[in-house]
Chains A and B, each alone.
Chain A
Amino acid sequence: MNQQEGYADDIVKGFIIWSMVWGLVAVLVGVLISFQIAFPQLNLPPYLTYGRLRPIHTNAGIFGWGIGSFMAFFIYITQRLTRTPLWSPGLARVQLWLFNVVIALAAVTLALGMNRSKEYAELEWPVAILVVVLWVIFSVNIVMTIVKRREEQMYISLWYILATLVGVAVLYLVNNAAIPVSLTKSYSAYAGANDANVQWWYGHNAVAMVLTTPPLAIFYYFLPKTTGVPIYSHRMGVIAFWSLIFMYLWTGAHHLLWAPVPDWVQTLAMGFSVMLIAPSWAAVFNGYFSMNGQWHQMRDNYLVKFLIFGITFYGMQTLQGPSQAVRTFSAFIHFTDWVPGHVHMGTLGWVSLVLFAAIYYTVPKVYQTEIYSIPLANLHFWLALTGQLIFSISMWIAGVQQAAMLNATNPDGSLHYSFMETLIELYPYWHMRAAGGLIYLAGLAFFLYNIFKTITGGKARAAAQRA
């Protein structure tokens, strides 16, 4: 058990594998609910209805796949950037167990209908407390490793890692404040418009501290590693870092435009959302400029393709997001399918493409082997890209079309379409989205198979060497 002499990589393996398992669950449930929307007969009450499955999908995706792999890569990256073995591998093993217990509990309790109803903070209080314990264990281990580091300066990835650790802690504690009634039921500690404002302060900063800063930490580490050339500008990364973590926290109310929360809170959210373009695009440019003279690697190096497309989707996401945060445009697309289109460009495009690259890079390293098949990885790339684009584009069109129909009026000022008349027109897009989801799922299957073969191949080779 004495891993003091090298990096603790066994635990990295564990987190990678389990995050892939939960990622598969998230996508499977996602495909199922996309079919339920198009074919409501597929709802199997009580446990398998859309209303109960959607939170399972988002929790498995954000917490299982997202946080799970962030834990893997934070541990992997931190050790290397500090040139120091993990502070406590034993604690990390406890963390892996607890992580799986929490995600499994989340899936089961949500299916049973134990749900606080606040988006991305659905878990009832006993499970939420376990999440807090999990996060504390994780944070202590990472922070202690950094404190004990043998490398003087901290590379930008470590900055994002540290910000994630405190950011998530603050957000989660505040938004999960609850009045328990029993072990399985509690009420939010805040009421009405206050609750809404706290929730979306949390909700949007879950986007910041879970779907932005961790993938950025991973991107900043793996892009130079895969291309072999350093990042374009470390100092630009530093400026962008402080601006980003400062500005994000002001923007929550862009989810509440036109809702009964004070106007000035909405206006601030709108202004800071637009300003966020700058630090977001600083990261995009940092990625692009690092590719100067290296663009041929987009063809030669499959990992670069994942990473550069990932950061490109991040760039598009951070242009589309601010436009949605403008009152007039929000009035139009808020509550429509446009928003799931936005969400999935971020999660399937940006976050997942970067994670795929990191996994393809790391697994052969920690298992001391080669990737099983590069052509298969390329196939995975194209399927993921196609599936995601079909999904997002069909939802954007659906959203705009429904918005236009909902706003259409007759000459006498009455509305031209009833709600149902607008909904009926959405079915073809919902079929398209389900097809996009299936394509993405097929890509994921090739990915899992490729990683599985890489791991078993690596094990076989190690055994042969020992013999």
Chain B
Amino acid sequence: MTIEKKPIIFLLLATATILVGTVVTMVLPFRWINDPKLAIASVKPYTPLQLEGRDIYIREGCNNCHTQTVRPLLSDTERYGEYSKSGEFAYDQPFLWGSRRNGPDVARIGGKYPDAWHVKHMKDPRSMVPRSNMPAYKFLEQPLDTSLTERKMKALNFPYTQAQIAELSGKTELDAMVAYLQKLGNDIPWRKTGKAEVLGELKNPFQDNAAVLPEGKKLYLEHCAQCHGKDLEGEVGPSLKDLDKPDAVVFGIVYSGIPAGSMPAFGDSLGKERTWKVVTFLKSEHRR
């Protein structure tokens, strides 16, 4: 027998050849992935509003620029939070891990910013982050189409109540998107474990050191002005003009954030030294 001469036998053999690796690396893993042992009880399915937001995320192709998986690598976990567990994605059909981080990972974006920040950012990213290349999504202020919502929830077997469906009326696509973003990554209590700890004695190393003020101001404009205003006048966050708290307290707020109040923690991205510089800048403005 020579398979070179028998195309049908050849086809069968070629199919068998490609099926070996397929079965081992694609079919068999179904036994291990999403195993009940890996399930995380606190991970909840999407609500109708969140699911609609997720569908808009898919429609707009946000996954072409944003990933949703934090790798167990320092540069990922320090930047985005606790690394991703497979159990966290049990309700993701399809998965949205992405393949390119043109923008930051958003697997744990939920709770990082207040809703108002997202609304402003989605409508005009460059008003918040001047050099961002994210498209502006102002048109998402259009009314949410809810004609398929119940069918979608049923197709995915997600629990829902009629009250939840009723609540959708009057919502915009942007509302749904923000609801979705705020859910992301929050089903496991990672913030408590992953939170940057303030260690050691809290004494401002740059106290009254005017030399660091220009850098402090630069850091402020880059990281804080989007919420607290260019001139500290306040916007998404409160005005910082009359900040009479001691340096160490301000440092603690900036370094560890105020999770309940949606003030982000900057310890991970700024480090101690640069955090102190921003604090020095803030306090100098206050004294003026």
Binding site for B on A (CB under 8 A): 36-38, 40, 43, 45-46, 49-52, 54-55, 113-119, 143, 146-147, 152-154, 159, 162-163, 165-167, 170, 174, 179-182, 185, 187-199, 201, 242, 245-253, 255-256, 258-262, 265, 268-269, 272, 331, 334-336, 339-340, 406-407, 409-410, 412, 414-416, 418-420, 423-424, 427
Contact = CB atoms under 8 A, between A and B. Distances in A.
B267 interface: yes
Contacts of A414: 78, 267-272
B1 interface: no
Contact of B60 (A52, A159, A423): A52
Interface in B143-159: 148, 151-152, 155-156
B34 A194 contact: yes
A143 B4 CA distance: 14
A407 B94 contact: no
Interface of B: 4-5, 7-8, 10-11, 14-15, 17-22, 24-26, 29-30, 32-34, 55, 58-65, 67, 69, 71-75, 78-79, 84-86, 88-104, 125-126, 129, 131-139, 148, 151-152, 155-156, 222-223, 267-273
B24 to A, nearest CB: 7
Given A170-B22, A414-B78, 13 more contacts: A36-B133, A45-B135, A50-B65, A143-B11, A170-B15, A188-B93, A195-B92, A260-B88, A268-B25, A272-B21, A414-B271, A415-B271, A423-B132
Contacts of B136: 40, 43, 45
Given A170-B15, A192-B92, A407-B75, A181 B21 contact: no
A162 B17 CA distance: 13
A170 B273 CA distance: 56
Nearest to B2: A153
Given A194-B33, A424-B131, A45 B84 contact: no
Contacts of A180: 155
B95 A193 contact: yes
Contact of A406 (B63, B69, B75, B273): B75
Contact of A252 (B25, B129, B152, B268): B25
B18 A412 contact: no
B14 A152 contact: no
Contacts of B99: 119, 255, 335, 339
Contact of A331 (B30, B34, B71): B71
Name the residue in A50, A146, A409 with the highest tally of chain B Cβ atoms < 10 Å from its Cβ. A50
A49 B268 contact: no
A249 B268 CA distance: 40
Contacts of B273: 410, 412
Given A45-B136, A50-B64, A191-B93, A415 B14 contact: no
6 contacts: A147-B8, A154-B7, A162-B14, A188-B94, A194-B33, A251-B21
Nearest to A266: B25
A192 B17 contact: no
Nearest to A410: B271
B77 to A, nearest CB: 10
Contacts of A335: 67, 98-101
B269 A415 contact: yes
Given A45-B138, A50-B135, A406-B75, A191 B89 contact: yes
B93 A143 contact: no
B93 A268 contact: no
B29 A197 contact: yes
B135 A246 contact: no
B34 A192 contact: yes
A49 B139 CA distance: 12
B93 A49 contact: no
Name the residue in B5, B7, B62, B269 with the highest tally of chain A Cβ atoms < 10 Å from its Cβ. B7
Contacts of B63: 51, 117
Contacts of B59: 113-115
Nearest to A407: B75
Given A37-B133, A190-B93, A252-B25, A147 B148 contact: no
Contacts of A188: 93-95
A147 B67 CA distance: 47
B155 A187 contact: yes
A143 B10 CA distance: 11
Given A181-B152, A197-B29, A143 B21 contact: no
Nearest to B200: A412
Contacts of A272: 21
Nearest to A257: B71
A420 B60 contact: no
B135 A43 contact: yes
A262 B72 CA distance: 14
Given A181-B148, A260-B89, A166 B102 contact: no
A246 B94 contact: no
A118 B65 contact: no
A427 B93 CA distance: 34
A189 B30 CA distance: 13
A378 B34 CA distance: 55
Contacts of A159: 10, 14
Given A45-B137, A167-B18, A260-B89, A185 B94 contact: no
A262 B59 CA distance: 30
B58 to A, nearest CB: 5
Contacts of A166: 11, 14-15, 18
B287 to A, nearest CB: 27
A201 B28 CA distance: 12
Contact of A153 (B5, B55, B85, B102): B5
Contact of A182 (B90, B133, B151): B151
Contact of B156 (A179, A190, A250, A410): A179
A51 B60 contact: yes
A116 B94 contact: yes
In the A-B complex, list the 8 residue pairs whose CB atoms are closest, starting with the nearest.
A51-B61, A192-B89, A249-B21, A414-B271, A113-B59, A260-B86, A43-B135, A250-B21
A43 B156 CA distance: 33
B93 A420 contact: no
A159 to B, nearest CB: 7
A334 B101 CA distance: 9
Name the residue in A118, A242, A420 with the highest tally of chain B Cβ atoms < 10 Å from its Cβ. A420
